[in-house]
A and B are shown apart, each in its own frame.
Chain A
């Protein structure tokens, strides 16, 4: 980390006592010694936390909004790090979606079951789970209000809501259209993925004109539109319909990807190796599903329409409305999407020091991925524990993010980078700019267990 931007230490005076808990530590060590053989049980899992060295006793009230990857990971780690804290997770959703699988589900390569799980499997037993959604944030009074009218007071707040897909920003588009009229969108839920797969599979059987959109602004998994385009191209080849097909990719600006090395690679790879035409500076204005036509706004051609047989159309994305319209959203700069105003390194809110952010909702200048969430979780938890202990934040998020960019079924590129947009490969011997089976194997077999370990708070 080359730079730190630590917020001013305006701590709430909570008067929380702190003591080290050696009995708990002893029990863990004793359990670890006796539990080696029975590694399969849930009890053993509880012994396998790599942290903490010591638990901290506190009566702090911590509210975590969101039970997605970041929220659950934070809840588990805090449950382990703190003794006596009153931790509340607010989220109505009971299903949990393994979203990294959605591009493969949405192209019909994997079944939707690969992306489906349940939050209850990962929710810590000592955490209160409020099954409603936060409708209002009131950070000046340290409370949130749910959509069922319940007021939850907090000493510390973690906002981990994820983001909102803004289909409403595309004229004529709604999530109900996914899977019909050649419309696909692999984002958000396995149901979207399943319906998208029907559209992609029908297209790849017959061939035709496929259009692949990347929406403007920050989106989660910015690699997904690229993956869907490349997997579709692969499926056309597999089905022998590539010759009667044309594929087009539409980025909103002049880049294919944030990371410059990958950007350069893709600008040549798409047209030359995959026969996919790139049309820069295109933004979707609207869709006429019945006519199977899409209206673009283009810097070069102005407004015009294009017909399609398959349209993969992820919408623009923003923070969820309650965050977007609260005092927690960015107050200056690009405020349209309403991302959470956190310090990019400490992930602590820049104006409300007892508020932290984790995951996609954070307004930080890096791709929103599960890998980002994995790296954010320990930083948020460490810094929140520091805040409880009335210390300066000690952990910093490097901006690490990762995209296993699937180029076809059986090959992928493992791209990892940080705030400086430098490649930071976990495996230096794997070329991040070369499609390889080894990277695909990680996507296929390694990432999901790593993700689940992250949810359980057992991995940094």
Chain B
């Protein structure tokens, strides 16, 4: 079928890349930094996955804030207003868009949060061990 939208996963990816093309460099940089930080935490170099719950909670908190802000501003950002939202499809669309932005924000901030929290926890643990040895 030939329609206005892409149908295969590859075509969806292509359109997403085209959509993000102006900021693709910045997104790639964030992804690389996140990957490195996650790798360092996994390898326990300078940080660890201690405090995972707090990092996840904080990331989800950031995601929730972004979701709320996006939900409020998405119609205006599109050039319309909340008055343009009429019916279930529009509500699903605006909620889905805001959810996507919130999830993206949460995913982006989780690695640095985890690194920082893991680092601090590790540092405290190290000092505790030094104290015990002394």
Q: Interface of A with B (CB < 8 Å)?
A: 37-40, 44-45, 48, 50, 109, 371, 374-375, 378, 398, 400, 402, 409-411, 414, 416, 424, 426-427, 429-431, 434, 436-438, 440-442, 444-450, 452-453, 456, 458-460
Asked if A398 contacts B86 (CB within 8 A), the reply is no
Across the two chains, which residue of chain B brings its CB closest to A430?
B89
Interfacial chain B residues near A402, Cβ < 8 Å: 3-4
Closest Cβ of chain A to B111, distance in Å, is 15
A-B pairs, 5 with minimum CB distance: A410-B80, A410-B84, A40-B24, A449-B18, A426-B3
Interfacial chain B residues near A429, Cβ < 8 Å: 89
A-contacting residues, B16-61, CB 8 Å: 16-19, 21, 24-25, 27-28, 31-32, 35
Which of B7-15, B101-109, B112-120 lies at the interface with chain A? B7-15
Interfacial chain A residues near B10, Cβ < 8 Å: 48, 50
Interfacial chain B residues near A458, Cβ < 8 Å: 11, 14
Interfacial chain A residues near B7, Cβ < 8 Å: 460
Given contacts A437-B84, A437-B93, A440-B80, contact A48 B28 (CB under 8 A): no
Asked if B79 contacts A410 (CB within 8 A), the reply is yes
Closest Cβ of chain A to B28, distance in Å, is 4
Interfacial chain B residues near A375, Cβ < 8 Å: 2
Greatest chain A CB density within 10 A among B1, B31, B90 is at B90
Asked if B6 contacts A453 (CB within 8 A), the reply is yes
Given contacts A48-B10, A449-B19, contact A409 B80 (CB under 8 A): yes
Interfacial chain B residues near A446, Cβ < 8 Å: 5, 15, 19
Closest Cβ of chain B to A119, distance in Å, is 17
A-contacting residues, B63-82, CB 8 Å: 75, 78-81
Residue of A427, A434, A444, A459 touching B15 (CB-CB under 8 A): A459
Asked if A398 contacts B78 (CB within 8 A), the reply is no
Q: Does B98 contact A (CB under 8 A)?
A: no
Closest Cβ of chain B to A320, distance in Å, is 26
Closest Cβ of chain A to B92, distance in Å, is 8
Closest Cβ of chain B to A249, distance in Å, is 23
In the bound complex, CA of A374 to CA of B85 (Å): 29
Interfacial chain B residues near A456, Cβ < 8 Å: 14, 18
Given contacts A402-B4, A437-B84, A458-B11, contact A410 B78 (CB under 8 A): yes
Q: Does B62 contact A (CB under 8 A)?
A: no
In the bound complex, CA of A416 to CA of B4 (Å): 8
In the bound complex, CA of A314 to CA of B92 (Å): 37
29 A-B residue pairings within 8 Å (CB atoms): A37-B28, A37-B35, A39-B24, A40-B21, A40-B25, A40-B27, A45-B17, A50-B11, A50-B14, A374-B4, A378-B2, A402-B3, A409-B80, A410-B84, A416-B3, A424-B1, A429-B89, A434-B87, A436-B90, A440-B78, A440-B80, A441-B78, A446-B5, A448-B18, A450-B5, A450-B18, A453-B15, A458-B14, A459-B15
In the bound complex, CA of A311 to CA of B19 (Å): 35
In the bound complex, CA of A355 to CA of B41 (Å): 61
In the bound complex, CA of A430 to CA of B6 (Å): 16
Asked if B17 contacts A38 (CB within 8 A), the reply is no
Asked if A48 contacts B4 (CB within 8 A), the reply is no
Asked if A447 contacts B4 (CB within 8 A), the reply is yes
Interfacial chain B residues near A459, Cβ < 8 Å: 6, 11, 14-15
Asked if B15 contacts A450 (CB within 8 A), the reply is yes
Asked if B4 contacts A414 (CB within 8 A), the reply is yes
Asked if B4 contacts A450 (CB within 8 A), the reply is yes
Closest Cβ of chain B to A420, distance in Å, is 14
Interfacial chain A residues near B13, Cβ < 8 Å: 48
Asked if B3 contacts A40 (CB within 8 A), the reply is no
Given contacts A37-B31, A410-B81, contact A400 B3 (CB under 8 A): yes
Interfacial chain B residues near A414, Cβ < 8 Å: 4
Closest Cβ of chain B to A366, distance in Å, is 13
Given contacts A410-B78, A437-B75, A453-B18, contact A39 B28 (CB under 8 A): yes
In the bound complex, CA of A426 to CA of B15 (Å): 16
Residue of B3, B17, B24, B80 touching A437 (CB-CB under 8 A): B80
Closest Cβ of chain B to A393, distance in Å, is 16
Asked if A410 contacts B75 (CB within 8 A), the reply is yes
Greatest chain A CB density within 10 A among B15, B24, B27, B97 is at B15
Closest Cβ of chain B to A190, distance in Å, is 18
Interfacial chain A residues near B18, Cβ < 8 Å: 448-450, 452-453, 456
Given contacts A48-B17, A444-B78, contact A436 B89 (CB under 8 A): yes
Interfacial chain B residues near A444, Cβ < 8 Å: 78-79
In the bound complex, CA of A447 to CA of B35 (Å): 31
14 extra interchain contacts, Cβ-Cβ under 8 A, other than A437-B80, A440-B80, A445-B19?
Answer: A37-B28, A38-B28, A48-B13, A437-B90, A438-B89, A438-B90, A438-B93, A440-B84, A450-B4, A450-B6, A453-B15, A459-B11, A459-B15, A460-B2
Interfacial chain B residues near A44, Cβ < 8 Å: 17
Interfacial chain A residues near B1, Cβ < 8 Å: 424
Asked if B87 contacts A436 (CB within 8 A), the reply is yes
Asked if A436 contacts B86 (CB within 8 A), the reply is yes
Closest Cβ of chain A to B31, distance in Å, is 7
In the bound complex, CA of A109 to CA of B85 (Å): 19
Interfacial chain B residues near A424, Cβ < 8 Å: 1, 3
Residue of B4, B32, B89 touching A371 (CB-CB under 8 A): B4
Asked if B80 contacts A411 (CB within 8 A), the reply is yes
Interfacial chain B residues near A450, Cβ < 8 Å: 4-6, 15, 18
